Amino acid sequence: MTLQDSFGRRFRYLRLSVTDVCNFRCNYCLPDGYQCTTEEQPLSVNEIQQLAQAFARAGTRKIRITGGEPSVRADLPEIIRTLRAVPGIEEVALTTNGYRLGERVHEWKAAGLDRFNLSIDSLDPRQFHAITGHNRLQELLDGLDQARAAGFNDIRINTVLLRQFNASELDAFLEWIRETPLTLRFIELMRTGDNAAFFNDNHVSGESIQTRLLDSGWQPLLRSASAGPAREFSHPDYAGRIGLIMPYSKDFCASCNRLRVSATGKLHLCLFGEQGHDLRDLLKAEHSDALDQRLLDLMPLKKETHFLEQEETGATTHFAMLGG
């Protein structure tokens, strides 16, 4: 069985937010830092287990843990271990800002984490500080060395393209992966409810980066039918790869392969949809059949596309509430 919507898209990939708390202040996401807006606690490990089991029964094979910043949860290793033990789940991944990465990465590996994405928006320490509010670039780079030593060898770096902060750094990023086998994923800045003015000042089209890559010998990689919306490129002179995530490009939504659940257990059919659909009331072993049925019943509600190009960002005020 696979969860499938009315447009034939299949969802074997779940992005699970485990907290909306974050300790960074990225200027495109939480420029004033995390503000608590709810009394509701994030899902417990037991609830996460029930949720993951239901998704696995419905065909989910990969779960990415995201946030907020997942590593602010002291029980993150337990969450990883729990997800990894769910029958049917073949891959558990994490997206992190890398806070204290070097200290934590061995524990994540021991818990069964398969891979992680690390957000690095600039290789210039001053710009990194200006974007994230933290002077921690070197800590992240050292953490990457620790991660490789721990056995992670397929690491992706997420970089949001920002006209006023990192748009002139493309060459520096490329130089970095000449000898280093990382995948750099350049993400187009997306408009959210909170960042309209920042978006207008900083959005850079991924198409412009794609043109520069193609002009300098980067080759698009063939995409499998089940691959997500990222376009990937390789170059014979570079050990690393590039991924481009261009949500404003035509047909971006056609390859959507993911569903999202918020930290309080709401299923979001689209990052830019309306309020999520509550699953928490069914996250108990005795409700597993009802949970399976609710997941199936919600699939036809998924819309064909987002409406970002019409400046409609849905209920998403910032990505820390849903994990990107």
Is 252 or 319 the residue whose CB approaches ligand SF4 more closely?
319
- Say if residues 211 and 153 touch (Cβ distance below 8 Å): no
CA distances from 209 to 54, 109, 178, 226, 269 (A): 40, 34, 17, 24, 29
Give CA–CA dist 172/265, Å, rounded. 40
- Per CB under 6 A, does 97 bind ligand SAM? yes
- Candidate residues 19, 27, 49, 95; the one interacting with ligand SAM per rule CB under 6 A: 95
Question: Who's near 93: CB < 8 A, 6+ residues apart?
Answer: 62, 63, 64, 65, 113, 114, 115, 116, 117
Among 3, 14, 22, 204, binds ligand SF4 (CB under 6 A): 22
- If DSSP codes are grouped into helix, strand and coil, which group holds residue 160? strand
Site pattern 200..219 for ligand SAM (x: CB under 6 A) = --------------------
190 binds, among ligand SAM, ligand SF4, none (CB under 5 to 8 A by kind): ligand SAM
Nearest to 302 by CA among 248, 258, 264: 258
Number of Cα atoms under 13 Å in the Cβ half of residue 283: 20
Q: Residues 96, 118: contact at Cβ < 8 Å?
A: yes
Percent helix / strand / coil, the chain, rounded to 5 = 35, 20, 45
Q: Out of 16, 22, 76, 144, which residue is the one contacting ligand SAM (CB under 6 A)?
A: 22
Q: Cα 46 vs. chain centroid, distance in angstroms?
A: 23
- By CB under 6 A, name the one of 14, 16, 30, 321 that touches ligand SF4: 30
**CB-wise, 86 or 144, nearer to ligand SF4?**
144
| Residue 68 engages ligand SF4 in binding (rule: CB under 6 A) | yes
Residues 108-127 as x/- pattern, contact with ligand SF4 by CB under 6 A: -----------x--------
- Give me the 162-191 binding string for ligand SAM, x by CB under 6 A, dash otherwise: -------------------------x-xx-
**Other beta carbons less than 10 A from residue 151's beta carbon:** 9
Give the C-alpha separation, 98 to 176, whole Å: 18
Does 324 help bind ligand SAM (rule: CB under 6 A)? yes
Mask 112-131, x = binds ligand SAM (CB under 6 A)?
-------x------------
CA dist 258 and 293 (Å) reads 19
Distances (CA, A) of 318 to 27, 72, 275, 277: 11, 18, 13, 18
Query: CB–CB of 63/88 below 8 Å?
Result: no
Applying CB under 6 A, what is the total number of residues that bind ligand SAM?
Answer: 21
- The site map against ligand SF4 for 69-98 (x = CB under 6 A) is x---------------------------x-
- 66 binding ligand SAM? (CB under 6 A): yes
Contact call for residues 105 and 146 (beta carbons, < 8 A): yes
Exactly one of 47, 69, 114, 169 binds ligand SAM (CB under 6 A); that residue is 69
**Residue 30 binds: one of ligand SF4, ligand SAM, none (C-beta under 5 to 8 A by kind):** ligand SF4
| Interacting residues toward ligand SF4 by CB under 6 A | 22, 24, 26, 29-30, 67-69, 97, 119, 319-320
Contact positions vs ligand SAM (CB under 6 A): 22, 28-29, 66-67, 69, 95-97, 119, 158, 160, 187, 189-190, 192, 195, 319-320, 323-324
